[in-house]
Structure 1
Amino acid sequence: MATETPTPRRTPAGAAVLRDDVTEAIRAAVFAELAAVGYGRMSIEGIARRAGVGKAAVYRRWSSKLPLVLDVVSAVATLGLPTPDTGSLLGDVRMLLGVCARALKHPVAAQIIADLLAEASRSPDIAQTLQDALRSTQRGITDIVVRRAVDRGELPVGTDLDLALDLITGPLYWRVAVMRTPLPKGYLDRLATGTVAALGAS
């Protein structure tokens, strides 16, 4: 009895194939729209127009603008910040401050962060995403920096990690993102020295 050769499975006609280049174009358009009009006025139509695609291309990937923005913010945050390893706590803190300052002073980032924080006060979903994506990423880096400092004998065992994170990022964020005042020459050096001293480094 002859054995039938299995027929290869075919992709159904009309099935959507999510092209990576289109997805990336939409992600870039989200950031541009957030910076240009803010979350409240942002629309799927505007995103699609800026990305050069139809609305259907957006809706095939995300059901509405909220999950779209949450996904994009999370994806960018997971890229994270570089984990410094300069050999000293002061050097590590100074490097972190420099990287954070450059990110916060970027005009697009400054506009988007302020807008999303305002929206977070009205949307628990946005608030939770910012908490998970941004603070968790920074906390992981701070944990490594603090543990290395403890191993070198620069910080005492049991150093409060959450306090360390607040001391390292809080003052800089307040000045750059909230007050939006320029950083004087040598400010980051002085801030790094003060932060290390506040952490109780030997």
Structure 2
Amino acid sequence: MTTPSGPSGTPRRAPAGAAVLREDVTEAIRAAVFAELAAVGFARMSIEGIARRAGVGKTAVYRRWKSKLSLVLDLVGAVTVQGLPAPATGSLHGDVRALLEVAAHALRHPVASQVIPDLLVEAARHPEIADTLKAALLDPQQGVVAQVVRAAVERGELPEGADPDRALDLVLGPLYWRLVVVRTEPPQGYPHYLDDLARAAVAALTA
């Protein structure tokens, strides 16, 4: 394979704009965004602050994202686990308990405990944020809970027509309230607390 040449026969150089973006720089910027969001929130966050924290120039950020909004939206989509498989323990109680275990781990991550609440506030002013959060957070959760409900209906544990949205509220609502809104540790420790939540949610769903 020959190198493309110019009119004088000298090899052409690749245009400057064709430079490959370094992945380590991209990851450093993403890490800086997490830190900035946690430290100052979305409204006060700036490209300058992100670049300074990442140890890069502003142009390195702008080569990858056109604004802080597009950067944050990309980040939320990148760190959110998509396609999480629904638990298949063979019982409604087992599935609910498994969901709570995964959710408790996720809600204690800095993205959930520090970043997501701030973005939920901003979502009221930015439809793009609201749409991204729905696609990245709510839709996957609804899909997983719908599979759990469908399996429980097939086993005869829940009646036909059981509402997955109601199940999502009952299963994950109390956990989200404690870990993200109130931000207090369960008094009896996580395993016992999750056991209690699972029993309460199943009792409510099957009532």
| TM-score normalised over the length of structure 1 | 0.86
* Preserved CA contact (<8 Å) 1:29 1:51: yes
Q: CA deviation at 1:65?
A: 0.2
| Stretch moving more, 128-137 or 62-71 | 128-137
Aligned to 1:127: 130
Equivalent residue for 1:14, pick from 9, 13, 16: 16
Query: How does 1:34-53 map onto structure 2 within 5 Å?
Result: 34-53=37-56
Equivalent residue for 2:202, pick from 182, 193, 196: 196
Q: CA deviation at 1:72?
A: 0.5
| Stretch moving more, 82-91 or 35-44 | 82-91
Identity across aligned pairs (percent)?
Answer: 67
Q: CA deviation at 1:82?
A: 5.2
- Structure 2 stretches of 5 or more lacking a match? 6-11
Q: CA deviation at 1:31?
A: 1.0
- How many pairs are equivalent? 197
| Gap change, CA 1:104 and 1:6, over 3 Å in 2 | closer
Over the residues paired in the alignment, what is the CA RMSD in angstroms?
A: 2.3
Equivalent residue for 1:63, pick from 62, 66, 74: 66
SS in 1 for 2:100: helix
1:86 aligns with 2:92: no
SS in 2 for 1:116: helix
Distance across 1 between alignment mates of 2:136 and 2:161: 25
Query: How does 1:71-110 map onto structure 2 within 5 Å?
Result: 71-79=74-82, 81=84, 83-107=86-110, 109-110=112-113
- Structure 1 stretches of 5 or more lacking a match? none
Q: CA deviation at 1:6?
A: 7.7
| TM-score normalised over the length of structure 2 | 0.84
